[in-house]
Amino acid sequence: MPHQDFLPQEYIDKRVQRRTNFISLTLFVIVMGSVIAAYMVTDQQRVAKKYEMRQVGAQFNRAAEQIDELESLKQRKAQMLAKAEVTGMLTERPNRTLLLSELINRMPATLSLLSFEMKTSIVRRAAVEQTAMQRGRNEARRRRAGGDDDEPQSQVQPTEVSIEIVGVAPTNAELSQFLSAIQRCPLYKDVNMVSSVQTNVEGQAMYRFRLVMNVDQEVDLGTYEPIKVQRGLRQNPMSPNLEFDGDGILVTPEGPQRDPMEQD
């Protein structure tokens, strides 16, 4: 026997429509809730990302400031070194007194110098052409360092000090001894014997030599110890009691004389 529904059709349609509306509303609420929840999560993530980006940007800015400060310090250091080098060029390194004293103190007693000549010359170096990238980089460094383009740049020309001495020695043994002593001295470099010719000096056979060398200007004079030679003088040569006769021979005063250089 077929099932018969005694409810009116209109009532059934309304119930179906209400059920459908309820289900649609429930799904709508669920979807909207999901959308709102997703938006809130996404917004929180976006805020967190913005905060991280601000933090990273601040770190980059601090790093850029530190780099600019470091570049400025390097630029100032280079300028100070350049000025110090220019100032150092005004003084001899080492001075002539030390150079000559080292030569004399290393000479054998039988060797004599006839001439001493020292020349200072500027070493010409080929200028290295910079690329466009290097010029741009240097210009950017000058801008960051706040340098003045109108300020003249100090150009230090490297110099070379050469010495030429001419002397006489009785034998080649003294000459070789003198040459070895000069070569061991840290003040000199590129020591070369240009010539050694046997000649007659006042009736005595002597070797006339010419020696050339360069001065090492980078030697540390603060730790350099000059050679000391004991002359064996019986009197102080600076004493006012010294007398010479007409032939230039030293005359020793009679009786004990007090040396004014002696301390009490």
252, part of any domain:
no
Q: How far is CA 59 from CA 54, 67, 117, 184, in A?
A: 9, 12, 63, 57
Q: Is residue 52 part of a domain?
A: yes
Question: 115: domain range?
Answer: 96-145+157-218
What domain count does the chain have?
2
Are 78 and 104 contained in the same domain? Answer: no
Query: What's the pLDDT band for 233 if we cut at 50, 70, 90?
Result: low
In total, the chain counts a number of residues equal to 264
* Residue 249 is assigned to a structural domain of this protein: no
Task: Centre a 10 Å sphere on the Cβ of residue 217 and count the other Cβ atoms it contains.
Answer: 16
- Structure confidence by residue, pLDDT tens digits, 45-87: 888 888 899 999 999 999 989 998 898 898 888 888 877 776 6
Residues in a beta bridge with 192: 212
Q: Are residues 67 and 104 in the same domain?
A: no
Q: Does some domain include residue 121?
A: yes
Q: Is residue 242 one of the residues assigned to a domain?
A: no
Residue 257: the pLDDT is 44
Give per-residue pLDDT as tens, 156-189.
577 788 999 999 988 888 889 999 999 999 889 9
Dump pLDDT digits (tens) for 88-142: 665 556 778 888 888 888 888 888 888 989 888 877 766 556 677 777 776 766 6
Same domain, 110 and 37: no
Residues 6+ apart with CB under 8 A from 235: 241, 242, 252, 257, 259
Q: Is residue 241 domain-resident?
A: no
Residues 74 and 172 in one domain: no
Query: How many whole angstroms separate alpha carbon 47 and alpha carbon 109?
Result: 92
Same domain, 208 and 115: yes
If asked whether residues 133 and 64 sit together in one domain, one would say no
Dihedrals phi, psi of 180, to nearest 5 degrees: -65, -40
Determine if the peptide bond prior to 186 is cis (ω within 30°): no
Q: What are phi and psi of 160, to 5 degrees?
A: -130, 125
Domain shared by 75 and 175, yes or no: no
Host H or E run for residue 11: helix 9-89
Question: What are residue 140's phi and psi, to 5 degrees?
Answer: -65, -40
% of the chain at pLDDT higher than 90: 15
